Amino acid sequence: MLTDIWTVMRKELQEAFNLGDRVGKFGLLFMMFSFGILLPWQMGRSWVESPITLVYWSWVPLFLVNAVVADSFAGERERHTLETLLASRLPDQAILFGKLLAALAYGVGLTWASLLVGLVTINLFHGEGRLLFYPPAVALGVIGISLLSGGLAAGAGVLVSLRAKSVQQATQVLSIAIMALIFIPTFGLQALPAAWQERLWNIVSGWNVTQAVLVAIAVLAVLNSVLIGAAMRRFQRARLIAD
């Protein structure tokens, strides 16, 4: 099973990193420059000391995974290669998890590469002879939340791509979902009565960073499990061929 999953992963990663990848080389370079050089240079030591950086590292993998996962099944359908893939000896779970893990590895791998470049930038421009690194709780959050955030995008993306008739349709649905995920909580909190906002702020401000990170990881892990379970139920060879 692991060999079959790796076979699918390798094929998907090769397609994602070829010259025609969906993000485009300019987009990848811009992302690496922004989160690896520009923002760390501008924010200084707060880039590694402030928990607010967790917000950045939860967003980045969402967009990167979304850029490739929409093609996972919708692209095969457009290229008329889905039937060939489904007729292969590969087990259902190998196809599903191979595509899901490839999108996750692509998005999270580039996110962590930007993270490392950012650490180099911080130490070069703001280190002043000392090695700067994330506090343990923030480091745990950056790694865990970025991984699970990417998993959330991969799970949702595979589920959408299984149903979408085209890559464009899948990309649009996922883009709208990401925008809603970011903006609805922001504007929703602002719409709450002032007393509710104050009460919620008092609860959250009483948490330490470790507690907040563990809660976020737990919530994301549950959401990942739900989406992956839904994708496993949706992935049925006969239905996909009929579609």
Q: Count of domains in the chain?
A: 1
Q: What is the CA radius of gyration of the chain?
A: 20
Q: What is the pTM of this model?
A: 0.84
Report the C-alpha gap between 134 and 141 in whole angstroms: 10
Q: Average pLDDT across each block of 10 residues of the chain; the chain has 243 residues. List them in order.
A: 85 72 63 84 83 83 87 85 82 90 92 91 85 87 93 92 86 84 68 70 67 88 93 79 61
Say if residues 73 and 111 touch (Cβ distance below 8 Å): no
Neighbouring residues of 48: CB distance < 8 A, sequence distance ≥ 6 = 119, 122, 132, 133, 134, 135, 138
Report the C-alpha gap between 215 and 31 in whole angstroms: 28
pLDDT of 154 reads 93
Report the C-alpha gap between 139 and 126 in whole angstroms: 19
pLDDT of 130 reads 82
How is residue 228 written in tokens? 């992956």
Phi-psi region of 134 (alpha: psi -120 to 50; beta: other; left: phi over 0): beta
Q: Which domain holds residue 178?
A: 2-242
